[in-house]
């Protein structure tokens, strides 16, 4: 069984419910992980939006949530998981709002795609301080056993 990530909050390719966005409670959605390879020693999760700021003319990839060094036995994450309830050993990176934690979809214009990418790694990354998405992606290079994605979309109401 290959590595997989899904959510009870939305189906792959479907709209992310408002409660998980800046127009709602801004709670991280429930995520489920399966098919983690036996050789995995850590997991990493990167949530980003490649359509920023405008899907018609994207200029940057905006990161919304960075987690790494999750234990490989982690079955997923509950909705709205606070930092003190993350699996033991999990480390957080900085999102593009310059803070740790989940920052839900809040697109300035148009319908954006949000990718929840789960990486199975052959080794934990260790303390990287408060790394950005770019730093985590650089650190996992050469350590990815498998990766899986869940994509959801969101457009602000009336836009």
Q: How confident is the model at residue 159 (pLDDT cuts 50, 70, 90)?
A: low
In a domain, 159, yes or no: no
pLDDT digits (tens, 9 = 90+) for 45-74: 999 999 999 999 999 999 999 999 999 999
Query: How many domains are contained in the chain?
Result: 1
Task: Find the domain containing 65 and state its range.
Answer: 4-154
Distance, in Å, from the CA atom of 86 to the CA atom of 120, rounded to the nearest integer, reads 17
Residue 50 CB partners (closer than 8 Å, separation 6+):
58, 61, 113, 115
The pairing of strands 91-92 and 76-77 is unpaired
Using an 8 Å Cβ cutoff, are 124 and 89 in contact? Answer: yes
Domain CATH for 138? 3.90.280.10
pLDDT digits (tens, 9 = 90+) for 97-154: 999 999 999 999 999 999 999 999 999 999 999 999 999 999 999 999 999 999 999 9
Instruction: Check residue 152 and give its pLDDT.
Output: 98
In a domain, 139, yes or no: yes
Residue from 111, 112, 122, 138 nearest 46 by CA: 138
**Does pLDDT of 11 surpass 90?**
yes
């Amino acid at each position: 069984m290959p590595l997989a990530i899904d959510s009870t909050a939305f189906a792959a390719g479907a709209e992310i419910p408002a409660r998980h966005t800046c127009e709602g409670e801004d709670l991280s959605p429930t995520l489920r992980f399966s098919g983690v390879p036996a050789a995995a020693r850590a997991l990493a999760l990167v949530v980003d939006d490649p359509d920023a700021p405008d899907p018609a003319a994207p200029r940057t990839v905006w990161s919304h949530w960075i987690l790494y060094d999750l234990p490989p036995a982690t079955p997923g994450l509950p909705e709205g998981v606070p930092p003190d309830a993350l699996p033991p050993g999990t480390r957080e990176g900085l999102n593009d709002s310059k803070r740790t934690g989940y920052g839900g979809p809040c697109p300035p214009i148009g319908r954006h795609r949000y990718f929840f990418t789960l990486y199975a790694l052959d080794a934990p990354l260790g303390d990287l301080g408060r790394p950005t998405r770019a730093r985590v992606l650089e650190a996992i290079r050469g350590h990815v056993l498998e990766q899986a994605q869940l994509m959801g979309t969101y457009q602000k109401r009336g836009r």
